[in-house]
Amino acid sequence: MAGDSHAAAPIGHASSGRLLLRRDFNPTVPNVARVYDHLLGGKDNFAADREAAAKLVEAVPGAAVAARENRAFLGRAVRFLAEDAGVHQFLDIGAGLPTVCAVHEIAQDGDPWQARVVYADYDRMVVRHAEAILGGSLTAAVVRGDVREPWDLFARPTVRTLINLAEPVAILLVAVLHFVEDHEDPWAVVNCYKDLMAPGSYLVISHVTADHLSEDAARQARAAYAGASAPGVARTRDQIAGFFAGLDMVAPGLVDVSEWRPDVIGVPPGPAVFYAGIGCKTRPGRPR
């Protein structure tokens, strides 16, 4: 399945682009985690990150709002899974820089001892931040791992201790798949996660799109990330829907990230920058 030929560079989840970052630390090179942090109004960023963010907002005026909407979607999704769907296990792949209302805080709000959360990210900086915040928690942990290597990720002792794949689990791929390029076949990667999930499990995805960008805006957005820490591919709605193949979509389906069960019905959103959805695996084996 081919990607969008003029895809814009991704805005990202509060992550490193998860798992695709350079291993050296260089504050003069824009880092997608820190760019996203700046878009969210955070302070864990440098001049190069702020400059890249400014270029992105110039190309896509709704980028900062979309970043905040994406973060809000993650919170609503986790709340739905913990409170309505009764899920007690969460794997957040591409956890990103720490922020308020983190996944473990929301998931464990009702019962701090029942919900188990594992964060995974490739960026060492992200992992160190998360370790400091979790402070030796018995029900939440962080590991360094690659979204493209699900079997390796699930073989980690920390993951095996906290996540029981015989029981329903929520796998969160929030703004990470656009950092997996087409030649790495992200659809095959997601199929591996589907294989590993028990019936009753949920897959949460948000993904950048260029469906509503002009070719010039898409080009400028790509230029904003030129030389940054992770490449990215924006995809069409149909391509993003392909990640959910074989799963039963939770209402309202695959929609603009701001339209997924918003807490407040307000002004209609502008053109979609992220699409988001949640799918449920209802049958054993490979969903088809």
| pLDDT (0 to 100) of residue 23 | 46
SS3 call for 248: strand
| pLDDT (0 to 100) of residue 267 | 57
Q: Mind giving me the DSSP string for 108-144?
A: TSS-TTT-EEEEEES-HHHHHHHHHHHTT-SSEEEEE
**144-179 pLDDT per residue, tens:** 999 999 999 999 999 999 999 999 999 999 988 988
- Pair 4, 202: CB distance under 8 Å: no
Q: What is the rounded CA–CA span in Å between residue 24 and residue 32?
A: 14
Predicted TM-score of the model (pTM): 0.85
Which token pair is 274? 């992220």
Q: Which residues pair with 202 in a beta bridge?
A: 170, 280
Alpha helices by DSSP H, listed for the chain, are 32-39, 47-59, 63-79, 103-107, 124-134, 150-155, 157-162, 186-196, 215-224, 237-241
At a CB cut-off of 8 Å and minimum separation 6, what does 61 contact?
A: none
- Tokens 């955070």 belong to residue: 42
Domains of the chain: 32-280 (3.40.50.150)
Q: What is the rounded CA–CA span in Å between residue 256 and residue 246?
A: 21
**5-19 pLDDT per residue, tens:** 333 444 444 443 333
Residues in the chain with pLDDT values less than 50: 1-23
Q: Evaluate the omega torsion of the peptide bond into residue 252 and state whether it is cis, within 30 degrees of 0.
A: yes
| pLDDT (0 to 100) of residue 228 | 67
Q: What is the rounded CA–CA span in Å between residue 190 and residue 150?
A: 9
